[in-house]
Structure 1
Amino acid sequence: MPQTDSPFRYPGGKTQLYSFVSYLLEKNKINGTYVEPFAGGAGVAIRLLFNSKVQKSWINDYDISIYSVWYYILEKPQELIKLIKNVPFDYKTGHEVNKQTSIAFWRKQHDYYVKHKNGEKSLALAFATLFLNRTNRSGIINGGPVGGFEQAHSTQIFARFNKKSLIKKINKIHSFKDNIILTNYDANDLIPILQKKLDSENSFVFFDPPYFKQGSGLYFTSFNNEGHKILAQKIMSLKDNYWITTYDVDSHIIDYFKDNDKNYSYELRYSANNKRRGKASELLFASPNLEIESYDNVHLEII
């Protein structure tokens, strides 16, 4: 699992594309604002800031639960940290009381999340969301706990919940709050705002929408087919901006972007000692004005 600067875990997270994105920014002489309309864990956005590759990162997520986490990290981190410290288990200590207490705590957060995930932003929602992301299988918030409800597996609920590491990440991100723009727009509504507010010559937008095939099973804010089609049209309307869009491979998506000039498939090249195998190819679409080529672990093929 790649090391990230984000407090989140995400299936198919794009942190492994950091070197590639950073290279694109340098190649196109962009160091102003970097935007993620579907931010999620915002791993690339945060690392670009930490490494002084951009002046600002714009984090947007329409999911109010994800937005709540980022809001409290940036505005009231100590309130979130206090709740993290009170979790009855940790990566280093294991179950601080017993397995039953840990699962009861998980159920409480799960029930709160299910009840309030479509409501208003709140500290309780922020904590429940981050907690479930760290303790559920593969970081899927609407999944079950690592190790199952009986905690009979060798990998248990505390395996990805390292309080010290989480708190360190939250505090570091908070220290960059003046360089982070946080919004809660539907991506289709955000695009015209980006057209008005961004310096088109010194900004870059990375669209990473929910998976076309599996999105509804992974994210509560996933699109339907028509939503993906409308999004593609809106993205391609950004004629003067630099952008890339990544998707899982599907003929519908290829068709939606057929009028775009720079369309690719890509796969990540891992070193020989990396244990990951069978990584599926994905699609990548780029703005016509973007100078783009394969780099580091990303191999592009024109489609």
Structure 2
Amino acid sequence: MTKTSADMRHHKKPIISPLRYPGGKAALYPRLREIVRTNSMTSGTYVEPYAGGAGAALGLLVTDQVRRIVINDLDPAVYAFWRATKENAAEISKLIHSVDLTVREWSRQKEIYLTAPRDDYLKLGFATFYLNRTNRSGVLNGGPIGGMDQTGKYKIDARFNRETLSERFRLISLHAKRITVTNTDGLALIKKYSKMDDALIYADPPYFEKAGSLYLNSFTDAHHAALAKCLNSVKDSKWLLTYDNVPQVANLYSDRRRELFSLNYSAHRVTKANEIMVFSDSLTLS
């Protein structure tokens, strides 16, 4: 059964994540907060197997809606960013204030992003962050805002407010001990935390449509099917899932409750997209 949700809009939401993500889910904070409270999960662990910008997770953490969060991303560059954020937020803040916002520096950071050792978390993580904040729509494999010749309406520094970004890292650092950062397969993480009574899993995988241009780790049909098999097999655990509203979702999750919602979506242009949320059987919905 599918219903339309109107209570996901027109609410204030904390903006904590330093990353820009197309289709980021920080806007779902009010709905997720409601689910956490309704299911008495405020002392539990909130898990994002496909974290990306982790906007919703960080919002729930810093407002004390949950006790702990798990940020997981299989992309080694995104993982390096979150690992560095947890362990070296002060160093990142220093770099934010000193780094040049020029095409020359952009090219240098791009080279670091492509060639830095995967375990040099600070170097790779900062390069990932730099490109995310200076690229069009935050897409890591895109070009700089304003173009290489900087003749566009907006320039490379348009989304790089040093003070605002530094404050976000400072705020995250205050809660670092309550953050777990992992770099593992999403299905393995779901299987692990689905066994824990105090865990709420929010899966936000790469979507069916346009995923290839937005995510470095896109899903094939087989990946989508494997995720559905995994989640449906733990229907009595507490989890929810968001997807683009395509027929495949209704087919893969035909036995689960589903709910339509709208989000503003920014990738090259701002649009409002209808998406769908799927719920495990054990979640209580108000």
Range class of TM-score, shorter chain: 0.7 to 0.9
SS in 2 for 1:281: strand
The alignment partner of 2:194 has SS state of helix
Q: 1:278 to 1:146 in 2, by over 3 A?
A: closer
Please give the residue correspondences for 1:210-249 in structure 2 after superposition, counting only pairs within 5 Å.
210-249=206-245
Deviations 1:246-290 (A, max 9, x none): 0112222322222x3212322259xxxxxx985121121101121
Runs of 4+ in 1 over 6 A off after TM superposition: none
Letter in 2 for 1:108: R
Aligned to 1:37: 49
Which residue of structure 1 lines up, in the alignment, with residue 134 of structure 2? 135
Q: Which amino acid aligns with 1:127?
A: F
Any idea what the Cα deviations from partners look like across 1:153-209, whole Å, max 9, x if unmatched? Answer: 22111011011111111111011011111111110121221134x2x2x33111100
2:242 and 2:20 map into 1 onto residues whose CA distance is 18
Q: How does 1:172-211 map to 2 (within 5 A)?
A: 172-196=171-195, 198=196, 200=197, 202-211=198-207
Q: Closer, same or farther in 2 for the Cα pair 1:145/1:21, shift >3 Å?
A: same
2:107 matched residue in structure 1 = 107
- Structure 1 counterpart of 2:247: 251
Amino acid at match of 2:134: T
State how many pairs are aligned.
Answer: 270
Matches for 1:39-54 after TM superposition, within 5 Å: 39-54=51-66
Q: Which residue of 2 aligns with 1:150?
A: 149
Contact 2:109 2:131 in 1 (8 A): yes
Residue 292 and residue 268 in structure 1: after superposition, are their counterparts in 2 closer, same or farther (change >3 A)?
farther
Could you tell me the TM-score, scaled by structure 1's length? 0.83
Percent identity for Structure 1 against Structure 2: 38
CA contact (8 A) 1:67 1:121 kept: no
* Residue among 253, 258, 262 paired with 1:263: 258
State how far apart, in whole Å, the 1-side matches of 2:144 and 2:14 are: 21
1:263 touches 1:283 (CA, 8 Å); kept in 2?
yes
> 158-167 or 119-128, which moves further after superposition?
119-128
The code of the aligned residue for 2:107 comes to R
TM-score in terms of structure 2 length: 0.88
How far off its partner does 1:116 sit? 4.4
Task: Give ranges in structure 1 of 5+ residues lacking alignment.
Answer: 90-101, 270-275, 294-303
Whichever residue aligns with residue 170 of structure 1, its letter is F
Pick closer, same or farther for the CA change 1:277–1:64 going to 2, 3 Å.
Answer: closer
Q: Cα gap change, 1:3/1:138 in structure 2, threshold over 3 Å: closer, same or farther?
A: farther
What's the secondary structure of 2:273's corresponding residue?
Answer: coil
Structure 1 distance, partners of 2:14, 2:150, is 26
Corresponding residue number in structure 1 for 2:163: 164
Whole-angstrom CA distance in 1 between matches of 2:271 and 2:81: 33
Tell me the equivalent position of 1:10.
Answer: 21
The answer as to whether partners of 2:80 and 2:124 remain within 8 angstroms in 1 is yes
Superposition RMSD in Å: 2.1
- Report which structure shows greater RCO (CA 8 Å, sep ≥6): 2
Post-superposition CA distance 1:75-106 (Å, at most 9, x none): 122332232222113xxxxxxxxxxxx11111
Task: Identify unmatched segments of 5+ residues in structure 2.
Answer: 1-12
Shift of 1:65: 0.8
Contact 2:52 2:73 in 1 (8 A): yes
Distance 1:229 1:26 in 2: 30
Q: For 2:182 and 2:240, how far apart are their aligned partners in 1?
A: 20
- Give the 5 Å matches for 1:86-101: 86-89=98-101
